[in-house]
Structure 1
C-alpha cells in the first residue's frame, strides 16, 4: 500500500502528498535555497518508490506540463505526444500524464520563455513637454515656465549666466535622465561657447531635480539655487535642451513680437483658461537678437499645443511648416545663432574643424612632399563616385571631394593630405568622414596624427588606424578616435594595393570635434523601398547585427520602419540584450548600462546636424510587467529564440524603446536619408558612477594653525540638502579619517555631521567634536543663529545702525542737559557758601 505522506527534502517536514505542492510554495528553506517561490507542476500527485517527493537542482518549473505537449502526429485518428522533459515520444495523452507523474514529478525545469515583447516607454504617444505637464495638472506660465512673481525680461546682463554654468544633479533624478543631461551638455559645448560644471559653492547655480513635469525659470534669477525640473518622461535630449535654453534666458519662439507675420493663433481652439500661454511680448520684454523667425526652433510650440479638440491651435502662414513646428530633436541653426549672439560666442568649445571641400583652398589642407602622388579635388570619377556626399549632385557647379587615384602607379604608391594645425583642449577627439572606395580591396586609407611638442618642433607621426575593404558603390561613414594633447595635424595617407583598380579612394564631409565617437554604426541601405513596402508592426521590423558594449554585453537594435499597428507612420526603435560570449562572466541583471540610439542627420557640418536620439538605461531591478522576471536579466532566461541571417540561433531579451521615435514627416524634413540610406549610431556605456551623490554643497571653513583667519576648504563630498518639494534618495556620505594624520601647519578640514539639524540650507560640520552650523549667505543677506534659523540683511543692518545712532544721540543729549543742570546747581550752591571754585577742583569733581 502506498504511503499517504512524505518528507520535504528541504525542511524534512512530513507532508501529505496532496498538500506537497502547496507546502513547497511556502517552505522558507526551499525558497532560501532557490531564491524564488516554487510553483509546482499542476499534475496528479504521486510518490516515488521511497515515498518521498523528488526534484533536481534546476531553476524553475514548467507550470502546466499538459499545455506544453508537442504533437507528433496522428495514427488512426489518435494524436501522439512527446514528453517536454525527456523528449520520449509516441505517448497517448493519458500515458504522457502517467509518464510525467511517475518519472518527472516535482522535477524543476526552465519555463519556456514567452515571445519577446517590446516595452514602449512612451506608451505609443509622442508626448511633448506641454502634454506631459498638462497631464500632471501643472498650471505653469506658457506651459513650462516657472515665474517667481512678475514676468521677467531676458534683456539685461543681470539675467545672463556666466559662460560656465554651475549645476547640481539631484539624487531624485532618474538614472537615464542624468545620462541624457550630460549628453545635452555635450551638445552645448559642441555648438556654443556655453559650458557646464558641477557646483563648487558659486553664488548662483542650477539645481536639476525630478519634479512634477518639465519646467524651468527664464534667465538667471539671481536667487542662489535655481530649480529646473526633469520629471518622468522628460528625459529626451531635445526636451532638456529646451528647458536649459529657458534657464539661459529664452522664451518660446511663437511669443516673439513679430510672430503674427509667420503664424496664426486659432483662439477658439485653445483650452479654456489657457489663452495666456499664447501671448506675445514687445521688444521691451524680449529680444529676438535680429534672427529670423524660426519654424524649426526647439523652442516653438507644436501645432497641437493646448488644443481643446483635434484641430491645430497654431497654423503656419507657410503651409509646408505646419508639421515642422514643435520639433524636439535638438537645436536649430537659428537657436544657435540667438544663443551665441546673446552670450557673445565667437567659437564653439569642443568643435575643431569641418570640411566639405567646396572651396578651392580645401580648408587649409596641404599636400605632403614626402609622397609620390597627390590627392585631387574632383566632382566625379568615372569609376565612382558620381557625386560628392555633401550635395549628392543636387547643386549645379558645386559638390567636390578629394580623390586618390589608384588606377595608375605601382604598388605602394602613396598620397598624403594633411590638415591645418589644430590645438586641442580636452585630450580626446573624434574624427568623422565619408569614404568611397572604387579601387581595389587591397587599397588602403591610413589615418595618422602629426604631433608637435617642444622636443619635436617639426612634428612626429603617430599611426592611428588602417581602413580597407571591398569596393562599394556608395559613400561609407567612418569614425576614428584620437587622443591628442599637443598641437597636431590629421594626416590622410592613401596607399595603392597590389590588385587591379579602375578608380581609387575618395573622402568627403570631414568633421573633427573634441567629443567621444559612437561605439558602433548601423547602416541601413535601400531605405526608401523599406518605407514604401514594410507593413506596420513586427512584420516591418529590421534588426541590427549583434554588437558588444565596452563592458562585454551583447545587444541588438530593432527598427520598426512603419511603426506599430497602433502607431503607424512612425519610426519605432527598441534596444534588446542578446545572448553573447561573455554572459557567464557578466553581472545579471545587467546594471546601469545606458544605450543611446542616434538617427544621424547627415548634414556636412556637425554643428548644424539635428540628429534624433533616444537613450535607454538598464535598471537591474526593473521587472517585466506583472511577472517576476527582470527585464534586463540574462537573455537565455527572459528572452526568446531568434535567428541571424546566416542561420545562427541566439536568445533575444525584451526590447525597450519607443514606437514614436520619429514621424515620417520629420524623417523627410532633414538629411536623415542620403544616398537612399540611413545611419544609426549606437553607444552602450556604463553610467553607474551617476548613482553617487554629486559633491554639491558649500565649501566648509578650514581652520589653519598658523593664522586666526578662516579660508574656504576643498569641496566636500556629501549629499546636498534638496530644495523644497524634492526628496533625496541617496544617504549622506561620511568621511573616514582612519589611517591619516594631520601634520602641524596643515589645514584641518571639519567632518560632516551624520544628521543635519541646520535650517535654511545650512551645512553641519563637526568642530571640536561638536556639531556647528555653517549658514548660507549672499551679497545682501545671511542666516544666523545656532541652527541658521534667523535671517539678516543689509537693509535690517542699516535700520539698526540708524536707530542706534539716533538712540546714542538722544542719550548724549540727555546726559549733556543733565550735566549742565547739575553744574548750574552746584555753582549756585558754592556761590551761596562763598566758596571759590578752581578749574582743578572742577575736573576732580567729575
Structure 2
C-alpha cells in the first residue's frame, strides 16, 4: 500500500513511463525473503506483460528497492540519478504487495483514485484517520486515464474497506455490496490490472513464451493427431465412465460444469496392447535465455491401470529440421482417477521443440482411456510438489503430508497441509536423507513458497494466493518462531530456542518409521500456521469440481542469483 500523498488509473504523461527492461538494484538492507519474492513478482510481469526487469548496469535511471518503513512507491518514472526508491519494508514480502508497488512505479494510481470512482464506491471521509486524507484523493481525467477498462473491485491496486480507518467504521463502501469484502485482495494482479498494464505500455505479447489451449469452441490450437492401431484422440464434451465435463467449465461444486465444453480423449477400450494415439503441439521456440519451461495440464484417467499417458518433447536443431530428437519427459499410469488431476512437467529445452502426448494401451481390459484439458506452457519454473485434495469441502481436522522429496541441492524435505475446522496452514519440514553428510548445515538461504492455486484454465488470468519463507541464517529461526502441529485440532506457535530450526534433522529432529520401515528424522514444521479460511476458497477458482490444489517450491536458484547480482 502506498502510504505517501503521491499515491488504478494510469498516468497520461508518456515521458514518465519506463523503457523495458527496467533496471533495478536490490539494496543490501532488504530481507532475503523479500529479495526472493521480488524475483517471483518479476516473473509474473514477464509472463503476463511485455515488461521485463534487469539488474542495473550503468543506467542513470533505475529503481532502488529498499527496506524502509512500510511499502510504498511514487507513481511513474521520476528520473532520479541516485535511484527511484521502492520500499519493500517489514511484512511487505508478498508477491501481491511487490506487484502493487511496482505497478505504482510503472505509472498506476490506486483503483479507488480513478476519476470515475464515485460511481462504484463511497469514501467515508469521517472514518479516515486524521492526516491520511490525501491517500483517498481522486485523480483528474486531465492527468490520468482508465484506458476504457471498467472499474475493477478485484484490482491489486484497490484499498481494502478499512484502509486508514480511525476506528469508527469502514473508509470505503462499495456500491455493489457483494464486493465489500473483495476490495483490497492481496493475491495477485487481476486480469484487468494486466490488461491496463499492457494497454499503457502498448504490449503485443509477453516477455516469457506462453501457450494455452483449453479446446474452447472445439478448436485444436494448431495441434495435430495421429494413431498407430486402435482409437485416436477425439474432441468430446463427455466420456462414458470418465469425465462428465471438461475441466475448463467445472463449477466449484461437483463434477458438472456451467456449460458443456470440449476436451481431448483417447480411448483404450478397443485395439491391442501397445496401440498408441498421438497428439502434438505446433513447433515452438523459447524466448528467454534461462531455458526454463513448465508444461501444465489436467488429465482424467478412466482406463485400465496398465494404460500409459506419456509426455514427450521433440527437439529440432533449427526451424528447417523436420525430424528432430524425441525425449520422454513424464509418464502417468496406475489406478484410474475420479477427478481431473493437475500435472506439471519441467521441460528445460534449448532449441525449437514440440510437446507430444501419447496414450498407449496396456495389457488389461478397459472401458475408458485418458482425457486431457487446459494445457499451459510457460517459461517459468514448475512447482516441486503438488498436493490435490479432492472433496475438499468435506475434509477437516487432519494433517496431510507429501512423500519425502529431494531438492536440487540434495536436501530431503516434505510439505504438508494442516486442516483445522475453519482454516488451514501450510508448512515444510526438513527430513533426514541420503546426502546429509555432504550438505551444508544449517540449511542456508533456501526459499519455500506455498501457493493456493487459482484454477483458472489460463495461467495468465490466475490470481493465486502465495506466501514464502526463507532460511535466513542471520537469526536462529524465522522471525523468532516456528509452527508446531501437535494435533490438527490444536495448532500452536512454538517459541524458538537457541538452535537453528533449519539445522540437520538428525541433530534436532524427532524419529518416525515410514511405510518402508525406514527410520527418518523430521525437523520442526516451518511455514504459515494460518494460511487461509475455508471461506476464502469460495472465491475465484480455488475449488473446482470439488478439488483444491496446493503447490510448493523448495529452491535455491532464485536466491543464488539474488546474491550473485548484489555482491
- Kindly state the Cα deviation for residue 240 of structure 1 after the two structures are TM-superposed: 0.4
| Offset from partner CA, 1:587-635 (integer Å, 9 cap, x none) | 2111111111111111100100111111111123422546321121122
Q: Which residue does 2:266 correspond to in 1?
A: 404
Distance 1:298 1:343 in 2: 18
Shift of 1:642: 5.3
Q: 2:143 aligns with which of 279, 285, 289?
A: 285
The equivalent of 2:282 in structure 1 is 420
What is the match of residue 431 of structure 1? 295
1:200 lines up with 2:62 in the alignment: no
For the Cα contact (< 8 Å) 2:226–2:233, is it kept in 1?
A: no
2:32 to 175, 180, 187: 175
- 1:484 and 2:353 correspond: no
Q: 1:537 is matched with which residue?
A: none
Residue 369 of structure 1: how far off its partner (Å): 6.8
- Alpha-carbon displacement from aligned partner over 1:101-128 (angstroms, at most 9, x marks no partner): xxxxxxxxxxxxxxxxxxxxxxxxxxxx
Is 1:578 aligned to 2:443, yes or no? no
1:43-54 pair list within 5 angstroms: none
CA spacing shift, 1:153–1:521, aligned 2, 3 Å: closer
SS, match of residue 40 in structure 2: helix
SS in 1 for 2:57: coil
Using the TM superposition, name which of 237-246 and 205-214 deviates more.
205-214
In the alignment, which of 663, 666, 670 is matched to residue 536 of structure 2? 666
Q: Which moved more, 1:185-194 or 1:439-448?
A: 439-448
Matched, 1:627 2:497: yes
Counterpart of 1:176 in 2: which secondary structure? Answer: helix
Cα–Cα, structure 1 residues 369 and 675, in superposed 2: closer, same or farther, change >3 Å? closer
Residue 590 of structure 1 corresponds to 443
Partner in structure 1 of residue 380 of structure 2: 515
SS at 2:135 equivalent: helix
Instruction: Work out which of the residue numbers 603, 613, 625 in structure 1 matches 2:466.
Output: 613
Give 1:396 shift.
5.7
> What CA deviation, in whole Å up to 9, does each residue of 1:285-312 have, x standing for no partner?
3211110000000000011101111632
* Corresponding residue SS for 1:188: helix
Superposed counterparts of 1:1-150, under 5 Å: 129=1, 140-141=4-5, 145=7
**Alpha-carbon distance between aligned partners in 2 of 1:541 and 1:451, rounded to the nearest angstrom:** 42
Whether the 8 Å CA contact 2:318–2:351 is kept in 1: the answer is no
1:271 aligns with 2:129: yes
Residues 441, 584 of structure 1: CA spacing in aligned structure 2 closer, same or farther, 3 A cutoff?
A: same
**Runs of 4+ residues deviating >6 angstroms:** 645-648
1:215 corresponds, among 53, 72, 75, to 72
Q: Deviations over 1:674-694 (max 9, x none)?
A: 222222111111155356463
Residue segments in structure 2 that go unaligned for 5+ positions in a row: 481-495
Q: Give, in angstroms, the shift of residue 181 of structure 1.
A: 0.7
Where in structure 2 are the equivalents of 1:423-462 lying within 5 Å? 423-426=285-288, 427-454=291-318, 457-462=321-326
Q: Which has the higher strand share?
A: 2
Q: Distance in 2 between matches of 1:215 and 1:602?
A: 30
Aligned residue among 497, 507, 519 for 1:637? 507
Task: Work out the CA distance in 2 between the residues paired with 1:345 and 1:371.
Answer: 46
Give 1:269 deviation, angstroms.
1.7
Deviation at 1:402, TM superposition (A): 0.3
Where do 1:706-785 residues align within 5 Å? none
- What residue in structure 1 maps to residue 216 of structure 2? 358
Q: Is it true that 1:166 corresponds to 2:37 in the alignment? A: no
Structure 1 residue 388: deviation in Å? 1.2
Distance change >3 Å, CA 377–CA 692, structure 1 → 2:
closer
SS at match of 1:665: helix
1:212/1:642 CA distance change after superposition, 3 Å: farther
Q: 1:480 and 1:329 mapped to 2: Cα distance? A: 25
Cα distance, 1:372 vs. partner? 5.6
How far is 1:476 from its partner? 1.4
Which structure would you say has the larger RCO, counting Cα contacts within 8 Å and 6 or more residues apart? 2
Give the whole-Å Cα distance in 1 for the aligned partners of 2:30 and 2:271. Answer: 61
Looking at structure 2, the residues matched to 279 and 643 of structure 1 have their Cα atoms a distance apart, in angstroms, of 61
SS of residue in 2 equivalent to 1:607: helix
1:529 to 383, 394, 402: 394
Q: Paired residue for 1:494? A: 359
Determine whether 1:247 maps to 2:105.
Answer: yes
**C-alpha distance in structure 2 between counterparts of 1:267 and 1:469, whole Å:** 61
**Secondary structure at the counterpart of residue 627 of structure 1:** coil
Equivalent of 1:311 in 158, 164, 169: 169
Is the Cα–Cα contact under 8 Å of residues 227 and 277 in structure 2 kept in the other structure?
Answer: no
Aligned 1:231-246 pairs, distance under 5 A = 231-246=89-104
Moved more, 186-195 or 221-230: 221-230
Q: Mean alpha-carbon deviation: is it higher for 447-456 or for 601-610?
A: 447-456
Cα distance in 1 for residues equivalent to 2:117 and 2:319: 59
SS of residue matched to 1:362: coil
Query: Are the aligned partners of 1:575 and 1:616 in contact in 2 as well (CA < 8 Å)?
Result: no
Distance 1:396 1:325 in 2: 26
Q: Which of the two has higher C-alpha Rg?
A: 1
Once residues 674 and 353 of structure 1 are traced to their aligned partners in structure 2, the CA distance between those partners, rounded to angstroms, is: 22
2:560 match: 689
**Residue of structure 1 in register with 2:548 after alignment:** 678
Q: Partner of 1:368: helix, strand, or coil?
A: strand
What value does the CA root-mean-square deviation take over the aligned residues? 2.4
Map 1:641-652 to 2 at 5 A: 641=511, 650-652=520-522
Gap regions ≥5 residues in structure 1: 1-128, 131-138, 146-151, 535-539, 564-568, 696-718, 720-846
Contact 2:244 2:256 in 1 (8 A): no
Change (3 A) 1:278 1:642: farther
Q: Deviations over 1:503-549 (max 9, x none)?
A: 0011111001111211221222221012xx43xxxxx5443333221
Distance 1:364 1:198 in 2: 37
Structure 1 residue 502 displacement after superposition:
0.7
Rounded to whole Å, the distance in 2 between the matches of 1:690 and 1:558 is: 28
The superposition leaves residues 432-455 of structure 1 with CA deviations (integer Å, 9 ceiling, x where unpaired) of 111111111111112222333359
Matched, 1:320 2:178: yes
* Aligned pair partner of 2:193 in 306, 310, 335: 335
Would you say the 8 A contact 1:324–1:666 is kept in 2? no
Q: Could you say which structure has the higher helix fraction?
A: 1
Superposed displacement of residue 649, structure 1: 5.7
Question: What residue in structure 2 maps to residue 555 of structure 1?
Answer: 413
User: C-alpha displacement at 1:351, in angstroms?
Assistant: 3.6
Partner residue of 1:799?
A: none
SS at match of 1:528: helix
Q: How many residues align?
A: 540
Q: Following the alignment from structure 2 to structure 1, what is the Cα–Cα distance between the partners of residues 14 and 162? A: 34
